[in-house]
Amino acid sequence: MSILIVDDSEEMRALYRAYLKEAGFKSPVIVDSALAAYEKLGIRKDSAPPKAPPIEIILLDVAMPDIDGIEACRYIKSFDLFYDIPVVMISAMEEEEVVALALEAGAVEFVHKPIRKLELIARVRAILRLKREIDSRKLHEEKVMELAKKLAKQNELLKKLSATDSLTGIANRRSFFEHVKEEWKRSIRNKRSLSILMVDVDHFKHFNDTYGHHSGDDCLKLVSSTIHSLLNRPGDLIARYGGEEFIIILPDTHLKGAEIIANAVRSKVEDLAIYHGDIPTGNCVTISIGIASIEPTKENEVSKIIKAADKALYRAKAEGRNRVVTAVEGDIDNGA
Tally of CB atoms within 10 A around 105: 20
Q: Residues 31, 36, 37, 38: what is their CA dihedral angle, to the nearest 10 degrees?
A: -170
Q: Is 39 a catalytic residue?
A: no
Q: How far is CA 167 from CA 123, 159, 231, 235, 243, in A?
A: 66, 16, 19, 22, 11
Q: Which residues contact 140 (CB under 8 A, 6 or more apart)?
A: none
User: Rounded to an integer, what distance in angstroms lies between the CA atom of residue 328 and that of residue 309?
Assistant: 10
For the sheet with 237-242, list strands across it.
237-242, 245-251, 194-201, 287-294, 324-326
Catalytic option among 244, 295, 319, 329:
244
Q: How far is CA 176 from CA 80, 95, 184, 304, in A?
A: 49, 74, 12, 15
List residues with catalytic annotation.
244
